């Protein structure tokens, strides 16, 4: 059987979800953002909730997320997405509301907003992309940058005395009574991406159960910021990022 005989519409087992727009993503080659956008879009498509979904994008590389996933979007000021999501959900409790935030947005300038949204138990989903660096502004240190990691503002490597320690968000918010589901995932392999997608789906489902906030951290790469090829960056992430930010569920109030 030759390839052209296989490439028939009835034999398609995987193709781009219609919930992704045709816009070419501005992300660098191999950037995790694209993969995470895709699995979120697939979850919304598979759950059939496009008309009930309100998404909130951050400031950072994913500020333009609204160009790619075909749902209604609000673009928040830096770090404030959980505040927007809080009001959006409280005023529209029948909608699925999620924020999409990077580590600078969520773990630095937006710490007050995320912690209080968690503490209040807002029935929203937070997708947290942790790649240990500020991508859009050109690779500066993020709160989650690992010790020793070189960035534009830690050119000799992050030094705890000078720059403080990496901030580990997920276990911290797991202690807050308002959180329902907290998990840490990755998208560097197909198996990981499938698990991450299942976690995102669960988070969306939980957001309608009135049990509190669901938080999906994605340990991700920024190969441009890390100054590596995409494949090297994935390997470096497995060896270094996973040691500080191990994958797996951290809290699930329904288990």
Partner 1 sequence: MAEKILMKGNEAIAISAIRNGVDGYFGYPITPQSEVMETLMKERPWLSTGMVVLQAESETSSINMVYGGASTGKKVMTSSSSPGISLMCEGISYMAGAELPCVIVDCQRGGPGLGTIQPSQSDYNQVVKGGGHGDYKNIVLAPASAQDMYDFVDWGFDLAFKYRTPVVILADGIIGQMMEKVELRPQKPRRTAEQVSQDAPWATLGKTPDRERNIITSLSLEADVQERFNRKLQAKYEEISRNEVKYSTYMTEDAEYILVAFGCSSRICEAVTDILRAEGIKVGLLRPITLFPFPTEQLAELSKKVKSMMSIELNLGQMVEDVRLSCEGRCPVGFYGRQGGNIFTPEEIAEEFKKFNNLK
Partner 2 sequence: MAFKGAIEVDTQRCKGCSVCVENCPTKSIGLSRSVNNKGYHYAEMIADTCIGCSNCAVVCPDSVITVYRVKIQ
Q: Is 62 in the site for partner 2 (CB under 8 A)?
A: no
Judged by beta carbon, residue 27 or residue 98, the one nearer partner 2 is 27
Which residue in 20, 76, 170, 213 binds partner 2 (CB under 8 A)?
Answer: 20
- How far is Cα 49 from Cα 46, in angstroms, rounded to an integer? 8
The nearer residue to partner 1, 53 or 144, going by C-beta atoms, is: 53
The residue (of 20 and 237) whose beta carbon lies closer to partner 1 is: 20
User: DSSP 3-state assignment of 104?
Assistant: helix
Cβ-based neighbour number of residue 221 at 10 Å: 29
Report the residue from 32, 57, 144, 207 that binds partner 2 according to the rule CB under 8 A: 32
Please state, in angstroms and rounded to a whole number, the distance separating the CA atoms of residues 132 and 233.
12
Q: Which of 12, 91, 162, 243 binds partner 2 (CB under 8 A)?
A: 12
Does position 243 interact with partner 2 (CB under 8 A)? The reply is: no
Q: Is 144:107 a contact under the CB 8 Å cutoff?
A: yes
Is residue 46 near partner 2 by the rule CB under 8 A?
A: no
* Site size for partner 2 (CB under 8 A): 36
Q: What is the distance between the alpha carbons of residues 89 and 138, in angstroms, rounded to a whole number? A: 33
* 51-65: burial string, b at 16+ Cβ within 10 Å, e else: ebbbbbbbbbbbbbb
Which residues would be at the binding site for partner 2 (CB under 8 A)? 1, 3, 5-8, 11-17, 20, 24-25, 27-35, 38, 187-190, 193-194, 229-231, 234
């Amino acid at each position: 059987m030759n390839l052209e005989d296989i490439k028939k519409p009835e034999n398609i087992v995987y193709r781009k979800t219609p919930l992704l727009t045709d816009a070419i993503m501005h992300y660098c080659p191999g950037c995790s953002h694209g993969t995470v956008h895709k699995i979120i879009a697939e979850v919304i498509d598979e759950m059939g909730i496009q008309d009930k979904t309100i998404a909130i994008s951050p400031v950072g590389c994913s500020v333009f997320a609204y160009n790619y996933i075909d749902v209604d979007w609000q673009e928040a000021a830096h770090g404030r997405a959980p505040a927007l999501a809080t009001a959006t959900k409280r005023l529209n409790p029948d909608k699925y509301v999620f924020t999409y935030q990077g580590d600078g947005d969520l773990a630095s300038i937006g710490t007050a907003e995320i912690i209080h949204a968690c503490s209040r138990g807002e029935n929203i989903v937070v997708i947290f992309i942790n790649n240990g660096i500020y991508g859009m502004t050109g690779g500066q240190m993020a709160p989650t940058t690992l010790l020793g990691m070189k960035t534009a503002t830690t050119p000799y490597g992050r030094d705890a005395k000078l720059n403080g320690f990496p901030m580990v968000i997920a276990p911290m918010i797991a202690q807050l009574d308002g959180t329902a589901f907290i998990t840490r995932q990755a998208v560097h392999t197909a198996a990981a991406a499938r698990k991450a997608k299942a976690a995102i789906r669960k988070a969306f489902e939980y957001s309608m159960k009135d049990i509190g906030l669901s938080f999906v951290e994605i340990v991700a790469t920024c190969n441009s910021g890390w100054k590596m090829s995409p494949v090297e960056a994935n390997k470096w992430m497995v060896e270094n990022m996973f040691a500080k930010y191990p994958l797996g569920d951290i809290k699930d109030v329904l288990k």
